[in-house]
Amino acid sequence: MKTSNKSVSHPNRNIHFQLFISFLKIGSFMFGGGYAMIPLLEKELIEKRKWITSEDLLEIIAFSQMTPGTIAINTATHIGNTKGKALGGVLASLGIIIPSLVIITTIYYLAGRHFENEIVQKAFTGIRACLFVMICKSVYKMMRSGIKESIGYVLFLIAVLALFMEVHPILIIICGGIAGYILTKMNNTKKQKG
């Protein structure tokens, strides 16, 4: 009996360390902001750790975008809390923050005066191009897992148009949530009648 208790509790003790290390790895290569980390999250949390699914990630990112703070920290905190309670949330958040803090401080200390240098600017141009491709791939994968009905594509197109018309993103998210709720309710009513 004691042996089985140890084997059950051992992963729980390890989860905090795993959360910290996973988000430390993600934070170390997260160039370009929150959306650029989506491929890293998919690789680490969905494919390697199997902590969440693609649908979970989509919901977490949507939720993280609606709450104050950066997407990266909100996502880390949410997944950390889900997997390792309050301590897991704190450690996952620290894991995502520490690499940025160390890297930015080091780069500024060593090259702060050289940001206007032509070589540095060309390097940033190349990095931005790669980040754009990573974000596009993530958006495509999220669309495939997140939009499953034709009405989803209609809402997607309306949201894109609203963004180009410079409607505030929070308003778009709220309207999307309301529209999704109403449409789901209508579909369920039709199914019950039919």
Note whether residue 4 is domain-resident: no
pLDDT tens readout for residues 77-123: 999 999 999 999 999 999 999 998 998 888 788 776 777 778 878 88
Half-sphere exposure of 71 (CA within 13 A, CB side): 17
If asked whether residues 96 and 180 sit together in one domain, one would say no
The token duo for 20 is 């910290």
Note whether residue 81 is domain-resident: yes
Instruction: Give the domain extent around 176.
Output: 147-194
If asked whether residues 129 and 163 sit together in one domain, one would say no
**Rounded Cα–Cα distance for residues 23 and 21 (Å):** 6
Per the structure, how many domains does the chain have? 2
If asked whether residues 158 and 127 sit together in one domain, one would say no
Task: Label residues 54-88 b or e (16+ Cβ within 10 Å = b).
Answer: eebbbebbeebbeeeeebbbbbbbbbbbbbbeeeb
Note whether residue 2 is domain-resident: no
What pTM value is reported for the model? Answer: 0.68
If asked whether residues 34 and 95 sit together in one domain, one would say yes
